[in-house]
A and B are shown apart, each in its own frame.
Chain A
Amino acid sequence: MTTTLLDVQDLTVEFMTRRGIVKAVQHVNVTVAKGETVGIVGESGSGKSVTSYAVMRILDRAGKIADGMITFSGLDVRDAPEKEMRDLRGREMSMIFQSPRTALNPIRKVGRQIEDVLLQHVQAQPSDAKEKAIEALKRVRIARPEERYHAYPFELSGGMCQRVVIALALACQPQLLIADEPTTGLDVTTQKAVMDLVVELTRERGMSTILITHDLGLAAAYCDKVVVMEKGRVVETAAAATIFRDPQHGYTRKLMRATPRLGVTLRELLPEDAPAPLAPAPMQEESADKTPLLVVSNLVKEYPRQDATSTLATFFRKKDQLPQAETFKAVDGISFEIKRGESVGLVGESGCGKSTTSMMVMRLLDPTSGIVTFDGEDIGSIPAREFAKSPMRKRIQMVFQDPTESLNPRFTAVRAIADPILRMSDIKGWAAVRARCEELATQVGLPLELLDRFPHQLSGGQKARVGIARAIALSPELVILDEPTAALDVSVQAVVLNLLEDLKHSLGMSYLFVSHDLNVVRLLCDRVIVMRSGKIVEEGSAEGVMDSPKSDYTKELLAAIPHPPL
């Protein structure tokens, strides 16, 4: 019989806001047994983080626990004095935050930060603190811990930083670890390494873990029990093994359906009751014109590497004694083509040069060398600053990664969509422009009454639609999609991906789809290019690359994706 470590009963959390009281979490019941890993899964705004903040009692000023009981190994968390809670946090329960870099103090050595925690909770004396801190670094498999002790967070990679955060969280051997989206923003291979580490470390100490995530695959792969939350309520609680095979609640089923995975088509991501999509327009068979739309050959982008030579040294040395300025090749001689009406996926982990490549093709960035030819014309030689005035500008457009950041907060939706039309089309007069915007809004499924709203009054999915409408406003031939769904919930992602697929068929555009998510790329693309450290490591048809990868790197990428057991 396992003993219960954490017992949350009937928890309701309220926030005071200027529009009245908002119940972020209502009547939530969660229990965590000793040594158990519990996943809390839900989309943004489902209350999963608020629940964990309530458990740690670190809700901000506006929030309060309105109702319910939280018992942590016999202690009533809701009524415990603040002093007792402060002692509890870090020593008995600790937390791993979403972005490791912001969770660390940027101007303090990581070793010192671990010491701080140890000393705070009297787990070490000043005399042996350093030794114990290095020991903690060693436990999270950081290579050369003695050196890393002196490193600052900015000197470490994202995955490394997350290891340090884990070392901090586990330094005092807590009984409960709360991991709030611990791998969001990390590459898929790093994600696997970090999650394996967390599970291993917690299992060997018999610790309990709460894993908060939006990723069903991740929850399935690492949790014993899964709690699905929607709108601040728990809709389903079941063992991880059974919940994915036999989901009981409609919402769980919908989430499962919307998660891209092997062996499904784009249409199958939509809920069963979704209206049938428009009859797919007859595929415009490639015209006699077989010339590729975009040809990129031997494209290179170099950045000067910050070297140790100071300006003063440069000043005193003679010209010929200066060390050759070292350069860093973000993109290292890549070549590829995109045919008319084709979707090509550009895949790789962060820092592989995929975004740099797309910016150069987009003509927002000047390449160091290499040729970019669009429809037979060399566009690579036009400086990025002057490309805005080029007639080619309207033939290449882009959908940005973050729908919020890519909309001017001071422009209404219609003004944002109208911007390219006003600048570059023949449509004159506001009434005509507005009519065109309404036509575009209808095309992307944006209700017309939303056109006069500002971005902050729109949801993520709606903002994504505005961004897509703006990109297709001038009927471009090539659209670059830079992780267009990375900031969206899975169910919204499913809708947006389907929209992009429909638009491609009805407007006959080509896509260059930049993404780190192989599952999504497979759904939308005909061909896939895999990049690593500025070079192309594999290229081929989407099925070919996914089903029988040739390079080791692609195999590694594919293996790292967590799959729900279906």
Chain B
Amino acid sequence: MNQRPDLDSAHIAATEPPTAAAAIAAPAVVVPAAPPKQTSVFAHARYVIAENPVTGIAFGLFVLIALCAIFGPWIAPYDPLASDTLAALQGPSAKHWFGTDQLGRDILSRVMVAARLDMAIAVFSVALVFALGGLSGTAAGFFGGWTDRIVGRIADTIMAFPLFVLAMGIVAALGNTVTNIVIATAIINYPLYARVARAEANVRRDAGFVQAARLSGNGEFRILLTQILPNIMPIMVVQMSLTMGYAILNAAGLSFIGLGVRPPTPEWGIMVAEGAGFIVSGEWWIAFFPGAALMLAVFCFNLLGDGLRDIVDPQRRT
């Protein structure tokens, strides 16, 4: 089914020079007559969301999480660290929507404020691995040879460990700080980025436009930066969104087992860990709400990744 009517020809034939205008393959007729105009990314995004409303929902969730991350401390109804032993272990109510924990802290406020820390860890680690993995993977795919072997073996070595255990080891060895969580999360995601970038760069290595760039006098390194990288960027952005959820989960997981962020800092993983002991006694809300926030965040980034892929590459749509 490769013979889809090509809409682009519709507005293009009109501008073909006179000699060819008479000769060019005529366009399919568009009903209603669409004015020739460039499609903006925005229009395309609107089309994708209309086709797949789940992407719209994911985008809405993303905006909500981003708002909490940016304005959390100002819009939270209570101080997330202020304990009030008189109000400890209260279930969800009009006063405390998500209930209170064993020290009487408002869970809603803590969940909102925690968004910033969790998102920050995820964003920084993904940005770090995007830069490192993307660049080295692209170089590996484009140059091949020794570059490829070195990058490939580094990725294989990392993949050889159970990734969460590797992250635990890195944090335990480097020291129990947020920076080290970012580093550990970046390292365990490295193979994913390096491999995707390598594969994408490799297929474009001798593409026509790369050969043409060689003819134009571009050196190999310049071709890598100006021809290859911009073309694999969309795929890498999709990859970023898909791994973002994983990065959040990883950060929360480390905190859950007591590495990285320490109490009383509000963080989803710690909150779930603290609440876990109370589930048996019926105080389910302490662990439930931060857990739900975590789940929604992961969910939202995965769906967003799917939606982004549709925008970037409609053919791979499922």
Given known pairs A22-B29, A47-B28, A447-B15, the reply for A406 and B209 (CB within 8 Å) is yes
Residues in B whose Cβ lies below 8 Å from that of A467: 212
- Stretch of B18-26, B55-63, B190-198, B292-300 lying at the A interface: B18-26
Question: Is B8 among interface residues, defined by CB-CB distance under 8 A?
Answer: yes
Question: Is A258 among interface residues, defined by CB-CB distance under 8 A?
Answer: yes
Whether A461 pairs with B218 at a CB distance below 8 angstroms is no
**Which residue on A lies nearest to B219, using beta carbons?**
A388
Whether A271 pairs with B29 at a CB distance below 8 angstroms is no
Whether A409 pairs with B231 at a CB distance below 8 angstroms is yes
Measured CA separation A26–B217 after assembly (Å): 49
Pick from B13, B22, B218, B230: contact of A388, CB below 8 A: B218
Whether A457 pairs with B211 at a CB distance below 8 angstroms is no
Q: Tell me the A46-85 residues at the B interface (CB within 8 Å).
A: 46-47, 49-50, 53, 58-60, 62
Q: What distance in Å separates the Cβ of A55 from its nearest Cβ neighbour in chain B?
A: 13
| Chain A 3-41 per-residue mask, 1 if CB under 8 angstroms from chain B, else 0 | 000000000000101111111101000000000000000
**Which residue on A lies nearest to B230, using beta carbons?**
A410
Residues in A whose Cβ lies below 8 Å from that of B17: 445-447
Whether B215 pairs with A362 at a CB distance below 8 angstroms is yes
Measured CA separation A388–B8 after assembly (Å): 35
Measured CA separation A519–B280 after assembly (Å): 85
Measured CA separation A408–B211 after assembly (Å): 10
Please report the total number of B residues contacting A with Cβ < 8 Å. 51
Residues in B whose Cβ lies below 8 Å from that of A406: 208-209, 211-212
Question: Is B79 among interface residues, defined by CB-CB distance under 8 A?
Answer: no
Given known pairs A19-B30, A388-B217, A398-B215, the reply for A492 and B20 (CB within 8 Å) is yes
Measured CA separation A401–B231 after assembly (Å): 21
Whether B216 pairs with A231 at a CB distance below 8 angstroms is no
Q: Output the residue of A231, A389, A424 with the most chain B CB within 10 A.
A: A231
Whether A231 pairs with B23 at a CB distance below 8 angstroms is no
| Chain B 226-249 per-residue mask, 1 if CB under 8 angstroms from chain A, else 0 | 010011000000000000000000
Measured CA separation A44–B216 after assembly (Å): 31
| Chain B 1-20 per-residue mask, 1 if CB under 8 angstroms from chain A, else 0 | 11111111101110111111
Whether B28 pairs with A19 at a CB distance below 8 angstroms is no
Question: Is A419 among interface residues, defined by CB-CB distance under 8 A?
Answer: yes
Question: Is A274 among interface residues, defined by CB-CB distance under 8 A?
Answer: yes
Question: Is A213 among interface residues, defined by CB-CB distance under 8 A?
Answer: no
Given known pairs A15-B4, A53-B3, the reply for A492 and B23 (CB within 8 Å) is yes
Whether B219 pairs with A462 at a CB distance below 8 angstroms is no
Pick from A46, A258, A405: contact of B208, CB below 8 A: A405
Question: Is A494 among interface residues, defined by CB-CB distance under 8 A?
Answer: yes
Measured CA separation A447–B21 after assembly (Å): 12
Q: What distance in Å separates the Cβ of B216 from its nearest Cβ neighbour in chain A?
A: 4
Whether A18 pairs with B28 at a CB distance below 8 angstroms is no
Whether A45 pairs with B209 at a CB distance below 8 angstroms is no
Question: Is A374 among interface residues, defined by CB-CB distance under 8 A?
Answer: no
Question: Is B213 among interface residues, defined by CB-CB distance under 8 A?
Answer: yes
Whether B28 pairs with A23 at a CB distance below 8 angstroms is yes
Pick from B19, B28, B29, B219: contact of A445, CB below 8 A: B19
Whether B23 pairs with A364 at a CB distance below 8 angstroms is no
Whether B23 pairs with A258 at a CB distance below 8 angstroms is yes
Q: What distance in Å separates the Cβ of A293 from its nearest Cβ neighbour in chain B?
A: 17
Whether A50 pairs with B29 at a CB distance below 8 angstroms is no
| Chain A 398-415 per-residue mask, 1 if CB under 8 angstroms from chain B, else 0 | 101110011111110000
Which A residues contact B (CB, under 8 angstroms)? 15, 17-24, 26, 43-47, 49-50, 53, 58-60, 62, 98, 230-232, 254, 258, 270-271, 273-275, 362, 364, 385, 388-389, 393-394, 397-398, 400-402, 405-411, 416, 419-420, 423-424, 445-447, 449-450, 453, 456-459, 461-462, 467, 470-471, 489, 491-492, 494-495
Which B residues contact A (CB, under 8 angstroms)? 1-9, 11-13, 15-20, 22-32, 34, 38-39, 43-44, 47, 207-209, 211-220, 227, 230-231
**7 chain-A/chain-B pairs, Cβ below 8 angstroms:** A44-B25, A53-B1, A389-B217, A419-B216, A420-B217, A457-B38, A491-B23
The 3 closest A-B pairs by CB, nearest first: A406-B208, A491-B23, A420-B216
